[in-house]
Amino acid sequence: MGFDKEKVDYSVYLVTDAPMVPEGLTLKHQVEQAVANGASIIQLREKTADTREFVKLAREIHEITKKADVPLIINDRVDVALAVDAEGVHVGQGDMDIPTLRRLFPGDNKIIGVSVNSVDEARQAIKDRVDYVGIGAVYGTATKNVKNPPFGPSGAREILTVLEEECDYDMKTVAIGGIKDTNSQLVKYLSTTPKGTKSLDGMAVVSCIMAVQDAGAATKKLRQVVGSDGPWVRARNDLATSSAALTEMVPKLAAKIAEISPLLHHITNGVVKNISANMSIAIGASPAMSEVVEEFADFSKVPNGALLINMGTASPEGVDIFKAAISHYNSQGRSIVFDPVGGGASAHRRAAVRTLLNAGVFDVIKGNEGEIFSAAQIQGTKMQGVDSRGSSELEKCISACKKLAHENHTTVLMTGQRDILVEGQEPYRVAVFKNGHEYLGKITGSGCMLGSLISAFSTVHQSDAFAAAASALILYTLAAEQAVKSPSVNGPGTFLPALIDAVHDLSQQSINGKTDWTKNANIEFL
């Protein structure tokens, strides 16, 4: 079969690295195994070999790739590519410019690729009309000295968005930098543009194939995961698209929570552990407060379970704990709720939020106005400690929620005097909730308790994170309105225990089939 660059499969793009090859094996052997098991394109990178040695190796590798109709790309060295009639050349930003490269390496059927690390470099690649770009470094890597810090899937998404909006031809894209079988699905999912029309065409890998004893098995595994969705991608059905549908759903889901008693794994701050646990029990769930990484694998495998990440303690060690938990729960397809507490209060916290958004997929991101604006990287209301100071107009708040939701393919809840819920996937629902009481803003941990309820509802309605979050919010805010009517409530201090009691009462009513308590829900779909 003749080579046609328009039909090249970029899904598993192997970059060679001879020093990584295990003792007793050869680079040629690793490439043979990779090509036989699904590697779709090979880049030969030899930074220290002299010309004669490089050409000899390139000819040997080309014999392997040609038999499988897999393109051979030579890194940087145009002379070597010409000597072996390779299918393409890849250059970095510090290597030969593309116009000169095209003059030296002509041919309509030759592949030209370039590394890009910024939107400006991506725009230049468009002008040069390269065939593909290698986007990275996504994560840190020991295989190459990178001048710029890794930018995660979000950085790749920014570049893909530029290509989506400004490129008038089908430029191919591969991610590079710390990519392996355990994170490739995540990188592809989180880097996909908000519109969903531009995603990565492949993953460029080095060590996860070159450095292992069984390169064939490693390639086969990578090929399988690259071609499939991550466990967090679920069938979306029974979507509630009206106020009536939501309010009808809430008691049914509340009763289901009490029936299955889901495990709610909290990683939260010490201030709210007690009240979060009590709120979880009030709704019928089973709380676990654990930062012990060794437990995360077991907890994540509990069938009826969810993870709540409350970023109240954002120390470097804490962020590492969050990342470990997110990885385990994502791998099992469990629900994760992220509460970026105080996310805009300091540069350190803003960086921690970006790190966590790059670390995994969340079903719901919940925060106050300041936290959501900060997470969306939009100038908005100011933070004082972990509290939000200011009130932006409704349209601006919805816009911030949309940006955060669409970019991260999640559902976003902004709490405040009116609560805003925005869905980041089709059908892109937006709703404003107008229940609750001012005392919710005068007690410690009101948002944290809501996070516990959202986690509980997400375990019984994984197919619709928007409806799960809405259900938790409806029950919680109506419980607040009920609690303030209690004779025992004289202010915020007496309101808190009454609130927990009210949540328990509404849960019990739901178990007993009583639904009248939902009639006062005030929801506006936009």
- List C-alpha distances in Å: 157 to 36, 120, 181: 31, 14, 19
- Closest by CA position to 364, among listed 323, 304, 423, 435: 423
- CA distances in angstroms from 505 to 128, 249, 476, listed in the order given: 66, 17, 11
Catalytic site residue 208?
no
DSSP assignment of 269-280: -TTTHHHHHHHH
- The CA-based angle 173-221-200, given to 5 degrees, is 15
CA 221, 225, 231, 235 torsion: positive or negative?
negative
Q: Which helix (H) or strand (E) holds 446?
A: helix 446-460
Tokens of 501: 């009691």
Amino acid at position 321, single letter: I
Q: Report d(CA 47, CA 29) in Å as an integer.
A: 20
Helix (H) or strand (E) holding 62: helix 51-67
Residue 255 is classified by DSSP as H
Which amino acid, residue 92? Answer: G
d(CA 79, CA 99): 16
Structure token pair of residue 344: 């805009």
DSSP 198-229: ---SEEEESHHHHTSS-HHHHHHHHHHHHTS-
Helix or strand or coil: residue 398?
Answer: helix
Segment (H or E) for 374: helix 369-375
Which structure tokens are listed for 319? 């962020």
Which amino acid, 169? Y
Helix (H) or strand (E) holding 460, with range, is: helix 446-460
- Separation of alpha carbons 303 and 332, rounded Å: 9
* 3-state secondary structure labels for all residues of 111-137: EEEEEECCHHHHHHHHHHCCCEEEECC
Annotated catalytic sites, by residue?
Answer: 448
